[in-house]
């Protein structure tokens, strides 16, 4: 069963995929579960360095040493690891579970036949020998059966596991995990629960020992009417880290779940984390996010309209201001034109005076009178140099100056205000 999508009609097809850090995409490919750095949301509470051995690829690893007195009728078998994908409920959702599935040497399977009622609990004790171990375990409880399964973990070492429990229609199951490891043990893995029609299962996680314990528990339903209760109890001392991550996918109508985890911490550095969520809650969060975004879009649209109205108002105010001051602009223009005309007239008078003086000089020279013009400035120029340079052609010189002056004040270039001839 694929837990990655919600196919229930009761969500009105609002969201097809549940997006949550408690619900990562399952995959058998280890490459889809990159090596965590501890900054990812999925790993930010976990002491990644302490569980690094469980995150590394490598050769096959042995499992724990198991002890149990199985009642008659309960089957315990092992299957080749090549069958793991067809036997278990879902692929791994994190790197630890993916490594456990890849490095396990076999798949252990415990089956309680349909209709069987077990008067006493089935207790399985797994012991670590101080080395690294990996294991995949499948529990199947047939339709209408009644059973209590207790898994006790003891000893030392680093243990990565992938557990799946399939509960048949109408069955009632209690699954109890007692994590009573030595103080240096590391235990991390994934437990996936599949609840059938009108079935009921109660899971209990009791974490009492170990250095680091990180367990991911996930659940989904195959038909309406299923019930799930998740209970947890943990005692954490100085230097220990216990982390339980729970996710329930209510992918079928008329299903129920309840979560109750409690713990106590003692000493410096003690860390106990319980993170839980459900598909229903994720859908509610998604709907809230959609509504929030819609509201922001409406607000931004209204803000843009208000900005456009403000710009139009500013434009109208500017137009009114310019209209009100149009007469002042015209008066200023007239003053500028008068100033220009007066400046031009003054320049014309200066040129006439210069031309007249120049004509008098020519007359004096013709009469033999020696009048020296050298070094006498007219209009800021050395007119003696100008005179010699122009070869005495006063008419051309005068017209040139006239043309220059007229062009400077916007008059036709060919115009001549005066003539010396």
Per-residue pLDDT of 200-220, as tens digits, reads: 999 999 999 999 999 999 999
| Domain assignment present for 68 | yes
**Cβ proximity of 59 and 81 under 8 Å:** no
| Partner residues linked to 361 by β-bridges | none
Most confident of 181-195, 297-311, 333-347, 358-372: 181-195
d(C-alpha 124, C-alpha 205), whole Å:
15
- Band (275; pLDDT cuts 50, 70, 90): confident
Quick one: average pLDDT of 113-123? 96
Q: Residue 207: which of 124, 272, 293 has the closest Cα?
A: 272
Is residue 10 pLDDT above 90, yes or no? Answer: no
Q: Identify the domain containing residue 248 by its residue range.
A: 9-278
Angle between helices 279-324 and 326-366 (to 10 degrees): 50
Q: Coil, helix or strand for 25?
A: coil
* DSSP letter assigned to residue 201: E
The pLDDT, as a whole number, for residue 24 is 80
Alpha carbon 417 to its chain's center: 79
Of 263, 278, 293, the position where a domain reaches its end is 278
Q: Residue 29: which of 82, 90, 98, 84 has the closest Cα?
A: 98
Is residue 80 pLDDT above 90, yes or no? Answer: yes
CA quadruple 189, 144, 200, 209: dihedral sign: negative
**Cβ proximity of 143 and 117 under 8 Å:** no
| 222 plus 133 within the same structural domain | yes
Report the chain's mean pLDDT, rounded to a whole number.
77
Of 257, 278, 299, the position where a domain reaches its end is 278
* DSSP letter assigned to residue 90: S
**86: Cβ contacts below 8 Å, ≥ 6 apart:** none
| 178 plus 85 within the same structural domain | yes
The pLDDT, as a whole number, for residue 394 is 33
More confident residue, 272 or 323: 272
More confident residue, 339 or 137: 137
Structure tokens given for 273: 């984390």
The pLDDT, as a whole number, for residue 356 is 56
User: In percent, how much of the chain has pLDDT > 90?
Assistant: 54
Structure tokens given for 10: 């009761």
Is residue 312 pLDDT above 70, yes or no? Answer: no
The pLDDT, as a whole number, for residue 249 is 92
| 269 plus 334 within the same structural domain | no
- Band (329; pLDDT cuts 50, 70, 90): low
| Domain assignment present for 272 | yes
Structure tokens given for 308: 């456009």
The pLDDT, as a whole number, for residue 280 is 60
| Domain assignment present for 250 | yes
| Domain assignment present for 126 | yes
The pLDDT, as a whole number, for residue 408 is 32
Is residue 127 pLDDT above 80, yes or no? Answer: yes
| Domain assignment present for 379 | yes
Q: Residue 59: which of 111, 114, 6, 132 has the closest Cα?
A: 132
| 249 plus 332 within the same structural domain | no
Structure tokens given for 92: 């791994």
The pLDDT, as a whole number, for residue 272 is 83
| Domain assignment present for 2 | no
- Band (311; pLDDT cuts 50, 70, 90): confident
Most confident of 177-181, 303-307, 346-350, 362-366: 177-181
Quick one: average pLDDT of 263-279? 81
The pLDDT, as a whole number, for residue 380 is 38
| 259 plus 353 within the same structural domain | no
The pLDDT, as a whole number, for residue 139 is 97
The pLDDT, as a whole number, for residue 251 is 92
Structure tokens given for 172: 């009632």
| 231 plus 340 within the same structural domain | no
The C-alpha angle with vertex 94 and arms to 278 and 159, in degrees rounded to 5, equals: 115
Quick one: average pLDDT of 99-106? 95
Most confident of 127-141, 233-247, 378-392: 127-141
Structure tokens given for 222: 């195959």
| 175 plus 108 within the same structural domain | yes
| 90 plus 215 within the same structural domain | yes
| 270 plus 341 within the same structural domain | no
Q: Coil, helix or strand for 311?
A: helix
Angle between helices 394-408 and 326-366 (to 10 degrees): 170
As for how many domains the chain has, the answer is 2
d(C-alpha 419, C-alpha 421), whole Å:
6
**413: Cβ contacts below 8 Å, ≥ 6 apart:** 403, 406, 407
Q: Coil, helix or strand for 277?
A: strand
Of 256, 278, 300, the position where a domain reaches its end is 278
Structure tokens given for 335: 């003053």
- Band (32; pLDDT cuts 50, 70, 90): very high
Residue with structure tokens 């999508």?
5
More confident residue, 419 or 129: 129
**Cβ proximity of 63 and 108 under 8 Å:** yes
Is residue 413 pLDDT above 60, yes or no? Answer: no
Is residue 391 pLDDT above 70, yes or no? Answer: no
- Band (412; pLDDT cuts 50, 70, 90): very low
Q: Coil, helix or strand for 55?
A: helix
The pLDDT, as a whole number, for residue 411 is 35
| Domain assignment present for 298 | no
| 110 plus 33 within the same structural domain | yes
| Domain assignment present for 85 | yes
Choice among 91-105, 140-154, 284-298 with the minimum mean pLDDT: 284-298
d(C-alpha 66, C-alpha 289), whole Å:
48
Choice among 55-64, 65-74, 111-120, 398-407 with the minimum mean pLDDT: 398-407
Count CB neighbours of 183 within 10 A: 11
The pLDDT, as a whole number, for residue 397 is 32
Quick one: average pLDDT of 278-288? 52
**Cβ proximity of 344 and 409 under 8 Å:** yes
d(C-alpha 108, C-alpha 15), whole Å:
37
Q: How far apart are the first and last CA of the chain?
A: 115
| 226 plus 358 within the same structural domain | no
């Amino acid at each position: 069963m694929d837990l990655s999508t919600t196919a229930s009609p009761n969500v009105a097809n609002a969201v097809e995929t549940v997006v949550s850090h408690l619900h990562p995409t399952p995959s058998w490919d280890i490459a889809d579960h990159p090596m965590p750095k501890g900054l990812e949301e999925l790993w930010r509470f976990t002491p990644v360095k302490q569980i690094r051995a469980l995150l590394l690829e490598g050769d096959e690893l042995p499992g724990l040493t198991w002890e149990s007195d199985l009642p008659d009728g309960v089957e315990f078998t092992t299957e080749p690891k090549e069958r793991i994908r067809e036997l278990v409920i879902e692929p791994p959702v994190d790197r630890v579970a993916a490594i456990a599935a890849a490095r396990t040497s076999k798949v252990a399977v415990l089956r309680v036949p349909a209709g069987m009622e077990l008067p006493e609990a089935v207790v399985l004790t797994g012991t670590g020998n101080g080395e690294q171990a990996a294991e995949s375990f499948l529990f199947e409880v047939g339709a209408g059966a009644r059973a209590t399964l207790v898994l006790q973990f003891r000893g030392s070492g680093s243990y990565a596991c992938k557990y799946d429990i399939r509960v048949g229609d109408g069955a009632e199951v209690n699954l109890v995990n007692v994590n009573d490891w030595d103080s240096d043990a590391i235990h991390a893995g994934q437990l996936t629960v599949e609840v059938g029609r009108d079935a009921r299962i109660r899971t209990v996680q009791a974490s009492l020992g170990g250095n680091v314990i990180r367990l991911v528990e996930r659940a989904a339903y195959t038909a309406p009417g299923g019930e799930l209760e998740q209970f947890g109890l943990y005692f954490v001392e100085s230097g220990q880290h216990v982390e339980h991550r729970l996710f329930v996918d209510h992918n079928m109508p008329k299903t129920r779940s309840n979560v109750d985890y409690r713990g106590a911490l003692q000493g410096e550095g003690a860390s106990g984390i319980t993170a839980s969520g459900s598909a229903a809650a994720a859908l509610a969060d998604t709907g809230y996010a959609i509504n929030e975004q819609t509201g922001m879009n409406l607000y931004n649209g209204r803000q843009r309209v208000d900005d456009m109205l403000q710009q139009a108002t500013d434009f109208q105010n500017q137009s009114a201001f310019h209209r009100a001051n149009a007469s002042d602009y015209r008066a200023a223009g007239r003053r500028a034109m008068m100033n220009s005309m007066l400046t031009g007239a003054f320049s014309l008078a200066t040129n006439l005076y210069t031309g007249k003086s120049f004509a008098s000089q020519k007359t004096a020279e013709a009469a033999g009178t020696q009048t020296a013009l050298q070094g006498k400035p007219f209009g800021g120029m050395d007119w003696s140099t100008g005179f010699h340079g122009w070869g005495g052609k006063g008419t051309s010189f005068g017209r040139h100056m006239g043309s220059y002056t007229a062009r400077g004040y916007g008059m036709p270039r060919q115009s001549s205000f005066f003539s010396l001839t």
